[in-house]
Amino acid sequence: MTPEAAERPAGDVGVWLGQISRAITGDGESDVPCGECTACCSAAQFVHVGPDERDALARIPVELLFPAPGLPPGHQLLGYDQAGRCPMLGALGCTIYDARPRACRVYDCRVFAITGVVPDEPGRTAVATRVAQWRFAVSSDDDQLRWDAVRAAAEFLATYPSTTGMGSTARALAALRVHPLFIEADRLVTPSPEAVLTELAAHGE
C-alpha cells in the first residue's frame, strides 16, 4: 500500500459529529490529526479573519489582508501565493499556529469524508488525497443512522436546483447542519425541500 493510499483513523462517528457541530456553531475548535499534512494550507483558499480576531491580526502583515466582499467593514481575507500556499505557511508548518484565524481553527477536511462530498475545486488535489484516506469508526446503530443522514443530506444538496451552485466546503458543512431533518423516529426519511431550505436560511446559507 502506497503512502497516498494509506488509511488513517478519522475517529468515532458520534464523537466527531458532536465535536464538529460545536466547532460550526462557534462553541469549539476542530482537533484534526494532521501530522505533517499541510494540504488545506496549500489549496488556494481565502481565509476569513474577523475584526475580533486580535491575535491573528497582530501576527498577519497588514499588506496580506484585504476587505472581505459582502461583509461589514473590519472583516478581511488572507489570500495565497502563486502556488496556492497560505503566506503564513513556513517550512515547518503554520508560522502563526497559536494565533491562527478562527477559520483555520474550525476547518476539518473530514467533513468531506463523512459527507461523501468531493473537494474538486482547482488546487484541492492534495486535500482530496487526504480525504480518501480517512476511515471513521461506527460504534452504534445510532451513529450509523446519523452518518446515513449526513450522506443523504449531502446528496440532496448536490441535486436540488437552488443549492447545486454551492462550493464543496459549503455543501459539506450545510449537509452537517441539516442532517437531523433526515432522521425521524430512529429511521432515515426524506424531508421536504422547504424544510431543508428553511433550515439553511436560518443559518444564512
DSSP string, 21-48: HHHHTTS-------TT--GGGGS---EE
pLDDT at 47 over 60: yes
Residue 105: half-sphere exposure toward Cβ, Cα within 13 Å: 20
Percent over 90 (pLDDT), the chain: 74
Helix (H, G, I), strand (E, B) or coil at 66: strand
pLDDT digits (tens, 9 = 90+) for 136-162: 999 999 999 999 999 999 999 998 877
Determine the length of the chain: 205
> What is the number of other CB atoms lying within 10 angstroms of the CB of residue 120?
12
Q: Is residue 5 scored above 60 in pLDDT?
A: no
Give the pLDDT confidence of 17-36 residue by residue, as tens digits.
Answer: 999 988 888 788 888 888 88
What is d(CA 192, CA 205) in angstroms, rounded to the nearest whole number? Answer: 17
**What per-residue confidence (pLDDT) applies to 2?**
46
Strand residue runs (E) in 53-161: 65-67, 76-78, 89-90, 93-94, 134-137
